[in-house]
Chain A
């Protein structure tokens, strides 16, 4: 006989504290899943993610690939009849998952790029040439042309522990 899992209110409390404050308002109608463009293409069911967060099923939700199939399009958030801030719940869960080391390598690389350069896209020689041709400053007037400004952004990463988080690598 299958055994029912015990809810873990402690984990639900952590989700609420991390920004998912409306999680307990959900009554599982499924408007979110029915509205989800990602769920139309995959087995991702946003209603189930919210349910697992409500019940505190940490081990079902944090390592799950599903958590990362949300494009944060906010369609479910707009349509939810209970005003559940679904994207905020997903963001809270993702932040918790990353702290446990669940991060995909392509994401880690993007995060490392911004942590080191202040931008998430690289500046290549061909970009400078094209910018020059269009009459734009070859190197954009951002952290790319201001080493002191880049130091500030790096310092924020250090103070938040973001550089270490990203260097930790994928689980």
Chain B
């Protein structure tokens, strides 16, 4: 049985714990064991923390990677584009720059006694579902659910920068749509699909009005395509669409993280999905 260190991050466990319980249940039912990472921290978030100090950003990330390395697992699993971006990109930098790895490991060792060895694979759950589990195995698990029109939102840091992530075509991707369709929904095309939700890079924290303008344009395009639901693969995009619609007032499209959508499709108990804490009501 495949076994992964489950990286929680911040927004999922603290603001949308339903995404966490759904992820745990979905991966269990697919025969993948998730093991908690005792003492892990924030990834740290690529928006503010990388913008402030890249040495700190890399060292805290290296600590999280070093914790996973000691667990004897097949990799570290993230359910958030931000966590994925930080852990993947820092691992990539440290694996390809021996001088940088030496510098970061010196700080890490002084602070924790641990070192990053470059032995852990960083996985995004959508990519793991597509490559390791497979679309057909997911389809076989589906017990029901409605055929709704879904606006699939990839977010930015799942696929990009694509020169190092090498998961799918960054301009015309399909892996996430294929999983959503396997779960019984129809992924509808919409104008400027693939555009940022607006929240990243510290923009949501510093200039929330600017972030919301970007969100609003995406919501307008999704509405024009007649979608019933937004499906995301990142708790930060999820927060931006879910809370953003309440501020904007003119849209009421339910927002689901893919783990919650799969939970519904696999017939898991609805009260394990934490949908009642969503600010934009989920009536599906």
Binding site for B on A (CB under 8 A): 19, 37-38, 40-42, 68-75, 77-78, 85, 87, 91, 94-95, 98, 103-104, 106-107, 110-111, 114, 118-124, 127, 130-131, 134-136, 140-143, 146, 148-150, 152-153, 155-157, 159-162, 165-166
Contacts and interface: CB of A to CB of B under 8 A. Distances in A.
Interface centre among B41, B112, B213 (most CB of A within 10 A): B41
A156 B60 contact: yes
B53 A143 contact: no
Top 3 A-B pairs ranked by shortest CB distance? A149-B39, A74-B160, A73-B196
Contacts of A140: 8, 13-14
B117 interface: no
Contacts of A95: 51-54
A107 B13 contact: no
A104 B210 CA distance: 15
B18 A127 contact: no
A165 B49 CA distance: 12
A69 B207 contact: yes
A107 B55 contact: no
A131 B52 contact: no
17 contacts: A41-B213, A42-B213, A68-B51, A70-B201, A73-B160, A77-B160, A77-B161, A95-B51, A107-B52, A119-B10, A130-B17, A131-B20, A142-B39, A149-B38, A153-B63, A155-B112, A156-B56
Interface residues of B, number: 66
Nearest to A166: B52
A71 B201 contact: yes
Contacts of B14: 119, 121-124, 127, 140
Q: Is the interface of B mostly helix, strand, loop or mixed?
A: helix
Given A119-B41, A123-B14, A131-B13, A152 B51 contact: no
Contact of B156 (A41, A72, A118, A143): A72
B277 A130 contact: yes
B171 interface: yes
Given A70-B201, A121-B11, A156-B59, A136 B41 contact: no
Contacts of B54: 19, 91, 95
Interface centre among B36, B37, B52 (most CB of A within 10 A): B52
Given A135-B272, A149-B38, A162-B52, 5 more contacts: A69-B210, A71-B214, A95-B52, A142-B40, A159-B111
Nearest to A131: B17
B217 interface: yes
B44 interface: yes
Contacts of B10: 119-121
B198 interface: yes
